[in-house]
């Protein structure tokens, strides 16, 4: 039996849905969509589900994740119903619906929660430094032979190795929290999609193994994006994704290798990774911010408040990272230490909020949606044989 919740259409407006009620179901959007195929015909179907309030069917659908928001459907819609934007709003809604804690919904729909949580976690980070890792007041002896600041020596009475170890433990605790929430939300996504569809078609275990390559391939290449938005936009997105993933891995898993006392030559892999990630992230932030400010093209016409929070947090993290690097290599002791703490006070809340509960989670949900879609479709094909 199809369950309908009439107030759903109003609710989706809080997640950024606009003008979708104007849709008269002509199907133009599906016909022009470069990613819609016979097995997955969107966005028309999702507009219908939204207007009718078919919440459970939306939650069981992977379609919103299969759209990479090129905007072709919106620019050709005869009713200006903005189908591309409803797909975006549904991705935000689905992120919230997978999250069992309810925090994601609050971050998306309440400014107080969205900004307050980031500020609160940032203050906690600063207080942790103030109480447990306070700066040494005397900068004497804190400059290396190469003229750079001894980055791991700003706590009085604590040697460099112990300092890096302490920060590394903090990183691992943060990564464990992120992983716990993200994985449990992914499990919820799996229940809503694969298990719910299992009433119609059961997925054999061998298919899970056979189709697993989809996860790695689509996470690593984001190839569907290039079919939708063209090569240059795909490249920009890929630079951001790869730079961010590299930095996250280096900071959490290889911190002693990355945060060394010695300043390596410019061509050293440690510095190269940092510059590569900074370049990719900064380029994407600038292009997207300018496009959003100018509202250029269908995909930048509407910006949800969380789109701006994401861009601003990413920008502040990158800016403080660049400043930290400059202060450090030019031997500015106190500026280096203060910027180090400010950098972490922006980075940590961004990761804790954005990765499991908000924008960054799409990096996990998109390849998983492709994987789950293949599982369900291929299991259905096997059943027919």
Residues at the site binding ligand SF4, with contacts judged by CB under 6 A: 23-29, 33, 35-36, 42-44, 47, 67-73, 77-79, 81, 83-84, 87, 228
Tokens of 148: 């750079």
Closest distance between ligand SF4 and the C-beta of residue 81, in Å?
A: 4
State the Cα–Cα distance between residues 30 and 41, nearest whole angstrom.
6
Based on CB atoms, which residue is closest to ligand SF4, 24 or 132? 24
**Whose Cβ is closer to ligand SF4: residue 42's or residue 98's?**
42
Structure-block tokens of residue 8: 């759903």
The CB-of-43 to ligand SF4 minimum distance in angstroms stands at 4
Nearer to ligand SF4, 324 or 368 (CB): 368
Contact partners, residue 384, CB within 8 Å, separation at least 6: none
Cβ closest to ligand SF4, residue 64 vs residue 122:
64
Residue 50 or 59 having the CB closest to ligand SF4: 50
* Residue 33: CB minimum distance to ligand SF4, A: 3
Q: How far is the CB of 333 from ligand SF4 (least distance, A)?
A: 50
* Shortest Cβ 80–ligand SF4 spacing (Å): 8
Task: Measure the CA–CA gap between 88 and 76, rounded to whole angstroms.
Answer: 17
To the nearest 10°, the Cα dihedral for 367, 372, 377, 379?
140
* Alpha-carbon span 50 to 6, nearest angstrom: 9
Q: How far is the CB of 300 from ligand SF4 (least distance, A)?
A: 12
Contacts of 29 (CB under 8 A, 6+ apart): 43, 44, 47, 73, 74, 76, 77, 83
Q: How far is the CB of 66 from ligand SF4 (least distance, A)?
A: 8
111-132 helix and 305-329 helix, angle to the nearest 10 degrees? 20
| Closer residue to ligand SF4 in complex, CB, 188/221 | 221
Least distance from C-beta 362 to ligand SF4, angstroms? 13
Q: Distance between CA atoms of 183 and 103, rounded to whole angstroms?
A: 15
Tell me the closest approach of the beta carbon of residue 7 to ligand SF4, in angstroms.
21
Would you say 44 or 343 has its CB closer to ligand SF4?
44
Cβ closer to ligand SF4: 44 or 153? 44
Of the pair 46, 352, the CB lying nearest ligand SF4 is at 46
Q: Which of 126, 47, 129 is nearest to 84 (CA)?
A: 47
Residue placing its CB nearer to ligand SF4 in the complex, 73 or 344: 73
Closest distance between ligand SF4 and the C-beta of residue 25, in Å? 5
CB 378 within 8 A of CB 207: yes
């Amino acid at each position: 039996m199809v369950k309908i919740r009439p107030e759903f259409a109003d609710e989706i407006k809080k997640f950024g849905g606009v003008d979708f009620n104007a849709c008269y179901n002509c199907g133009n959007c599906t016909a022009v969509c470069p990613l819609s195929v016979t097995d997955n015909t969107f966005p028309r179907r999702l507009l219908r589900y939204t207007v009718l309030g078919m919440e459970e069917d939306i939650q069981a659908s992977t379609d919103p994740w299969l759209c990479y928001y090129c905007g072709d459907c919106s620019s050709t819609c005869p009713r200006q119903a903005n189908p591309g934007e409803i797909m975006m709003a549904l991705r935000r809604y689905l992120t919230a619906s997978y999250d069992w804690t309810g925090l994601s919904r609050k971050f998306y729909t309440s400014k107080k929660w969205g900004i307050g949580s980031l500020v609160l976690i940032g203050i906690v980070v600063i207080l942790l430094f103030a109480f447990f890792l306070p700066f040494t007041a005397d900068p004497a002896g804190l400059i290396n032979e190469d003229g750079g600041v001894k980055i791991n020596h700003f706590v009085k009475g604590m040697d460099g190795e112990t300092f890096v170890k302490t920060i590394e433990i903090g990183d691992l605790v943060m990564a464990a929290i992120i992983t716990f929430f993200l994985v449990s939300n992914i499990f919820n996504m799996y229940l809503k999609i694969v298990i719910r569809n299992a009433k119609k078609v059961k997925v054999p275990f061998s298919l899970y193994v056979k189709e697993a390559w989809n996860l790695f391939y689509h996470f690593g290449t984001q190839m569907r994006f290039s079919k939708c938005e063209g090569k240059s936009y795909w490249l920009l997105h890929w630079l951001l994704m790869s730079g961010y993933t590299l930095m996250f891995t280096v900071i959490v898993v290889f911190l002693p290798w990355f945060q060394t006392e010695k300043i390596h030559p410019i061509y050293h892999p440690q510095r190269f990774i940092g510059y590569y990630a900074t370049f990719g992230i900064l380029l994407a932030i600038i292009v997207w911010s300018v496009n959003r400010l100018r509202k250029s093209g269908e995909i930048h016409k509407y910006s949800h408040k969380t789109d701006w929070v994401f861009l601003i947090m990413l920008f502040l993290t990158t800016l403080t990272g660049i400043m930290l690097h400059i202060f450090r290599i030019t031997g500015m002791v106190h500026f280096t230490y203060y910027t180090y703490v400010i950098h972490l006070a922006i980075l940590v809340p961004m990761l804790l909020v954005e990765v499991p509960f908000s924008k960054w989670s799409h990096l996990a949900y998109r390849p998983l949606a492709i994987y789950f879609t293949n599982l369900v479709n291929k299991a259905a094909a096997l059943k027919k044989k």
